[in-house]
Amino acid sequence: MSHRQVPRTGRILATLTTVVACSAGLLASTGPASAAPDAHRTAARPGTAADSTADASEGAQDGARAYPNLAPRPPMGWNNWSYYTCDVNEKVVLDNARALARNGLADRGYDTVTIDDCWMAKQRGPQGELVADPAKFPHGMAYIGRELHRLGLRFGIYEDVGTLTCGKYPGSYGHFEQDARQFAGWGVDYLKADGCNVPRPAGRTKEQSYRDVYEQQSRALLATGRPITFSVSAPAYFQYDGDSVWHQVIEWSAKLGNLWRGGRDIALEQQSAATKWSSILYNFRYNAKLNGLQRPGRWNDPDFLLVGDSGLSRHEMQSQMSLWAMMAAPLISSTNLAELSPEAREVLGNRAIIAVDQDSLGRQGEVVAQNDGFTVMSKRLRNGDRAVALFNSGDTPRTLSTTAEAVGLPASSSYWMRDLVTGRGRHSDGKIAARVPAHGTVLYRITARS
């Protein structure tokens, strides 16, 4: 992990001259892998403000207060960035929000609608306040919040802890408390804070500079009194600074927020199907290695689900959904939900796979076998079951196999294996095997029978 980081804007403009790059995180060219909550939210699903609890066991370093646990399960929802980039406006946001409510995905947990970069005017207002772009959002952001809450959804928004966002809009640097109060006043429930254009004061290292500003953002959100789930992007800016530094940044990010972007951005809708698949594979591989740094309520985030993007096959969409569920990753769709195909809706809405992701034990799955062409993962679930993924990353079908012992199941004379895609079940004496299509994943939930 020693590759020089390349800021998002430069990377995307170098490859997609028609796309303005301006969202969270980075694209690296090489490398491996004070408003109170709304009353209607009192019955919100786990992970929302309604069932938030302080994570008092966490001792933040250097006097920083540990952020409350507002996401006991991985967040779920929608973000415009990967599909729309800067072509975001009021209609795009509300059309996708209404699609979430209409197609049943909101009822399955996809309840947070987040507006990414490029939503604001290039200049702050006369009192130093953030101003929504009046052409894109003519009714303003408080209106968006009210409309989302009326649909039973949560409101997420993007900012940057630097002087400017990645798209060169006003950052929160020097305005953390003011912006946090403004977000709370708009009814914001979720903040994604990017890390472009972070100044480095004299005598401070890059890591210290990032930690300083993210601590300020964290404290400012706490001071509003509104429970705002906090997504930290700091680790994405250290993926190529060496594992020890990268992992240290993840550790303090877990004290300051609820989830964190770990590395490279997922591909954009405008890119080729091959690029999208390569991006999914890359993000899976780097995130799978971070399982020791994640813990229940504090989530590694390998970026958006591309399920529904043009060009991805059913097997590729299913693989991303299954692997993200195995990693207890946030399930945040970034596509045009109003035009979602039936098969993409089926993949995103698979209750059995969502249950693996949202399992209350909160474990990230572990890799038990892997080479260049396949991965076997195992994830312990609350009731003692194991979720087991057989992932064929190669370009031809192959039979993959493992055993109950290898994936951590207790000894038993019989096991019940249920395929979470087909719903079919069968008995096993302990052998776990399947013929897996190219770029496909077979995901089992396995129970030891007494």
**Bigger pLDDT: 216 or 41?**
216
Say how far residue 5 (Cα) sits from the centre of its chain. Answer: 21
pLDDT attached to residue 34: 30
Q: What percentage of residues in the chain have a pLDDT greater than 90?
A: 85
Angle between helices 141-150 and 176-186 (to 10 degrees): 40
- The one-letter code for the residue type at 179 is D
Tokens of 324: 């993200």
The predicted model scores a pTM of: 0.88
CA dihedral (158, 162, 168, 171) positive or negative: positive
Give pLDDT, residue 125: 98
Q: Which CA distances in Å does 340 have to 152, 213, 312, 333, 438?
A: 21, 38, 13, 11, 23
pLDDT in the model for residue 256: 98
Average model confidence (pLDDT) for the chain?
A: 89
Q: Can you read off the two tokens belonging to residue 97?
A: 């929000």
Active site residue 243: no
- Residue 274 pLDDT: 97
What mean pLDDT comes out for the span 344-349?
98
Catalytic site residue from 55, 116, 265, 359 = 265
Options 160, 189, 194, 357, the catalytic residue? 194
pLDDT digits 0-9 by tens, 19-29: 333 333 333 33
Domains of the chain: 76-363 (3.20.20.70), 367-449 (2.60.40.1180)
Say whether pLDDT at 78 is over 50: yes
Q: Give pLDDT tens digits for 413-430.
A: 999 999 999 999 999 999
Band the pLDDT of 244: cuts 50, 70, 90: very high
Query: CA triplet 159, 160, 166: central angle to 5 degrees?
Result: 105
pLDDT at 63: 52
pLDDT tens column, 255-285: 999 999 999 999 999 999 999 999 999 999 9
Is position 38 annotated as part of the catalytic site? no
Specify the pLDDT at position 64.
Answer: 64
- C-alpha to C-alpha distance for 137 and 122, rounded to whole angstroms: 14
Pairing state of beta strands 398-403 and 431-436?
antiparallel
Q: Token pair of 238, please?
A: 């250290």
pLDDT of residue 309: 83
Asked if residue 220 has pLDDT above 70, the reply is: yes
